[in-house]
Amino acid sequence: MSESFVQPSSLVLASRSPRRKNLLQQIGLRFESIASDVDEIIDIPVSPEEHVMILAERKARDVAFRLTGGVVIGADTIVVHDDEIIEKPTSEDDAVRILQRLSAQRHDVYTGFSLVEVPGMRTLTRFERTKVWFRRLDTDEIISYVQSGSPMDKAGAYGIQDDFGAVFVRKIVGDFYNVMGLPLSRFYCSLKEFTQTPPETDGIELA
């Protein structure tokens, strides 16, 4: 952890995601986790980057309203293929269908993250995009992976870390950690900026 960075006295992750918890621990942050309870449906057409930022901010604010102080982190990750958002699979058959669709194809992973300061509700929200290419997948390995249960809680029905899904990935362009659920470099720089100098513009940033 950089000596120039002083983390907030109270830092809260608005999620129970073990992957995001591990990533925050990896960069030495001390925090607690409180699951958000928000509707993740967006009723109006929005771009993928707007989608993840809206939901990340919605999650962070949901938890922030329950607190009396501190900084809340919200995050949301989606997979996009052929301009269609691919969410977490709803069943094993759905997971098989998703992986067959991504086989030998390129998809994009978007993660939005939001920082909300309590009690003032000052907010900074950003996103990151990573391009991912899959090799051609055999039906047998798809079915075996799905039967392991691992894909069922993951956007795009695969994990790139500590998971057999890692061998599906042929190439990535962009932040590896973004595919895991939080772009560490951009997140850390944003948190440092947020805690040291108030952003000129609060709210969603399309950058």
136-156 pLDDT per residue, tens? 999 999 999 999 999 998 999
For residues 199 and 104, give the distance between their C-alpha atoms in angstroms, rounded to a whole number: 41
Q: Which one-letter DSSP state was computed for residue 29?
A: -
What is the reported pTM? 0.90
List Cα–Cα distances, 131 to 59, 135, 171, in angstroms: 25, 14, 8
With cut-offs at 50, 70 and 90, classify the pLDDT of residue 201.
very low
For residues 202 and 164, give the distance between their C-alpha atoms in angstroms, rounded to a whole number: 40
What rounded mean pLDDT belongs to the chain? 91
Segments of the chain assigned E as strands: 11-13, 32-33, 70-81, 84-86, 106-118, 122-134, 169-173, 203-204
Longest dimension (CA), the chain: 53
Out of 79-83, 85-89, 129-133, 170-174, pick the least confident: 85-89
Non-local (6+) Cβ contacts of 188 within 8 A are 5, 27
pLDDT in tens, 61-117: 999 999 999 999 999 999 999 999 998 899 999 999 999 999 999 999 999 999 999
Task: Catalogue the active-site residues.
Answer: 76
User: For 5-18, what is the mean pLDDT?
Assistant: 87
**Where is 144: in which H helix or E strand?**
helix 139-147
Query: Which is more confident, 40 or 162?
Result: 40
Percent of the chain with pLDDT over 90: 80
User: For 9-36, what is the mean pLDDT?
Assistant: 93
Query: Which is more confident, 27 or 40?
Result: 27
SS3 (DSSP) at 85:
strand
pLDDT value for 199: 46
pLDDT value for 47: 95
Q: Which fold has domain 11-204?
A: Maf protein (3.90.950)
pLDDT value for 41: 85
- What's CA 174's distance to the chain center, in Å? 14
For residues 172 and 113, give the distance between their C-alpha atoms in angstroms, rounded to a whole number: 21
Name the residue with tokens 């997140």: 187
